[in-house]
Structure 1
Amino acid sequence: MKTMLIILVFIHGLLHLLGFTIAFNITKLSEVAISVSRFSGILWLVAGLLLINSVLFYINDKDWWWIIAGVALLLSQYLIILNWKEAKYGTLINVIILAIILVSVATAQFKDQYHKDVQEQLDKNANHNSNILTEQDFELLPNAIKKYLKYCGVIGKPKVNHFKVRFSGQLRKDTSAAWMPVTSSQYNFVDSTSRFFFMNAMMKGMPVAGYHRFSNGKAVMDIRLLSLFKVQYKAGKEMDEAETVTFFNDMCCLAPATLLDKRIKWLDSDSHKVKASFTSNGITITATLYFSDDGKMTNFESNDRFAIAADNSFKKAQWSTPIRGYKIINGINLPAIAETIWHFPKEDLCYGSFTITNVEYNPTYLDTK
C-alpha cells in the first residue's frame, strides 16, 4: 500500500503541473481546447508541488506528511470542480488517495501506542548491565542447553537485557483459509517480562494491523482491519498465560543468552530434550526443548497455551514451534526460520511460518519504521 500511495500521488502531482504549463503556454494540447488562466495555473502548480512534496515527506517518515497531502487534495478538488469537464476524472484519483491516506494515518495512530510502550521500557533500561558472558556463567545449566548456547555463539557476547526483532512470514486461521503475508516488529524486555509485538498483514487484499501487548503480567491482543475496525480483541488470564509461553519461547529462540534467567527452573533433561518451567508475575508455564546431536534446538513444545476456537472461546492445546533453519545474525547463530503449530486432537494446524530478518540486542533507540 505504501508503494501504491507513493506512485499514485507522485503521478497525480505531475499531472497537476500540466495545468501550470498550459496556463503559461509551455505546453499546448492541440487536440482539446483548454483555457487555463494564469492564476489557475499557479494554483495547479501549488497543488502539484504540494502533492509531490507530501510524497517526499512520507518517504522520509515525517509525521505531518498527511496534512500537506490533505491540503493538496482540497486544492486539487477545488481546481477539478472549476474545470469539471476536462478534469472530472481526477476526482476518482483524489478519492482513492484520500482513502489510502486515512488508512495510513489510522495505522500510524494505532502504532503510536506500541511506540510509546517501547519507549517507556527503553528509558527504564537506559543503564542496563552489559557484562560479557563467559563459560562459567553457564556451568549449572543442563548439558543440552550449554551445547546449544555454544552452538549459537553467545559466549563472549554481552548480556542481553532487551532485544528487537523483525520478522516476515505468513499466517492463516485454519487449513481452509488463505495464507496472509505478514511483516512484524517487536521488542522484548527480559527483567520486566514485557513484550510488544506489532504486525502488518494483508487479508483478502485489505490491510490488517495487530498489536500484542504483554506487560506487568497482562496481555492484550488487538487486531484491526484498516487499523480502524476491531476484528479480534482478546484479554484475560488465558491470554496472560499464553503470552508467558510466547515470551519464554522468544527467550529460547531469539535471545538464547537469556536462558541464564533465575526464573527458569530446569526440570528433566537428557542429551536431546530438556523440560523447563518459567515463572513471572505469578504465572508458571512449562515447556520442552528438543535438540539435535550438534547442539541445535529443533523444537519447542508447551501445553500451557490457549487457542481461540471457532466460537471465539479459549481452549488449551499443545503448541510447538519447529525450527526449519538457522542463520548468523549480528554474530549469533539463531533459529531464523520456524513454524507455529497447534496440535489439536483431530489434526495439527500449522498456522504460521516466520523468517527473522533482523535481531538487535540491547538497542538504545526506538525504531519507528
Structure 2
Amino acid sequence: MRDFAETRRPFGYFVHHQGRGHAERCASLVNALPDSRPVTIFCARDDIFPALRGNVEIRRIPSLFETTGEERSGFDGIPTPETVHCAPLGWPGIRQAMALISGWFAKADPALMVCDVSAEIAQLARICSVPHVKVLQHGDRSDPGHRAAYDGAVGLLAPFAAELAQPDWPAQMRERIHFAGGLGLRTEAADRSAARRMLGLDPEARMALILTGGGGNGWSTAPFGVAARTYPDWQWISIGAMQGDWHATEGGNLRHTGWVETPEDYIAAADLVISSAGNTTCAQILRAAKPWIVVPEWRYFDEQLEKARALGRAGVALHLDHMPSSAHAWRKAVAAALAGHAPDAQQALIAPDAAAAAARWLDRLVPDPMTEIANEGEFA
C-alpha cells in the first residue's frame, strides 16, 4: 500500500511585500495545500502574513526596489531593456535576493514556483528550469517583460472571477488562467447589525465607509469633507491611509480611523462603500454585497484603473476615475451607486472554495509522482 504521507517535492512562493493582499492570498493558498507539500516563501517581510500551517517556512530576502545605501552610482544613464521592469544596475540587494532564490532552486529541486508578483522572478524561475505559475493582475501588461513572464509560465492564477477578465486578454492566455474569485479572504464578516454593535455605531443612522488598502498613501481628505457636508445626516468613516488637506472643511460627521485589523466589520456595517481598487479590498466588498463607488488609485501599469473598469463593466460597482469634486457631483454619484446596486451579481463573483480549488489546480499542474498517486486515490 502506498504511503500518501510521504513528503512531496516543495513549492516555492515569491510574495511582493507592498500592501497586504499578496501575503493574504499566499497564506490562503498554501494553507489549502496538503500538509505533505512543503512550501518555502520568499519575501522581503515576514510580519505581513496571517497564520501559516506547518511545513511552510518564510525566507526573508532583500527588497527588490528599496535602496540600502550600498548601491553603486554611475549606472543610471544605462537604459532599462523592455524585457524587465525593475532591474537597476549596481544594486547588491537585488543580487543577493536572486542568489538566495536560485540557490534554493538548485538545492530543493522544487516542483513549482508561484510568483506574486515580479516579472523578473518569474523569468528567473524559467531560466533556472523551474516550472512557475504567474499570479495575474489587472492593468496594461502588454509589454515584453510581462509577456515573457506569462508566456513562460505553466499556468496563470487570477485572484478574481472570470467575469472580471480584461477584454484585451487573448484566447491563448485565457485558456491557461485559473480564476479564483475571493482568494485571500479570511474570516466571514458579521452582518450589518452585529458589525455595528461591535464597532459601537448607531444601529439606525446611515453610514458611508471610505476605504483604502495598504499598498499606497491613500487619498486626500478634502473630497470627503465635501461629501460629509452634502449628507449631514450620514456618518462618514474612513479606514486606511489618508492624506490631510489644509483646506479640507470637515464636519463632525466625518471620522478618520486609520489602519484597522478587521476592515470586513466596517464594510459589513456600511450602507455605502467608497473604495480604491486593490484586489483584497474589492473581494471584501463583493462578498459583503454593498452599494459601491470604486475610484482607482495610481498603480504601476494602471492596475487599479483596469480593475475599476472591469468592475464597472460587470455592473457590480459605480466606477469613477476621480473623486467627486462638488456637492452636486457627490449627490449624482451616491444616487447612481444606490440605484445600480446588484448584490446577487456581486456575491456571484466570490467562490466559496477559492483556495481549495486553486490548491488542487496547482497540484495538477506538476508532474509529481506523489501528486499522481494522491489524485488516483481521490478519483478512484
Bin for the TM-score computed over the shorter chain:
under 0.3
Identify which of structures 1 and 2 has the higher relative contact order when contacts are C-alpha pairs closer than 8 Å and 6+ apart.
2
More strand per residue = 1
* Bigger radius of gyration: 1
TM normalised by structure 1 equals 0.23
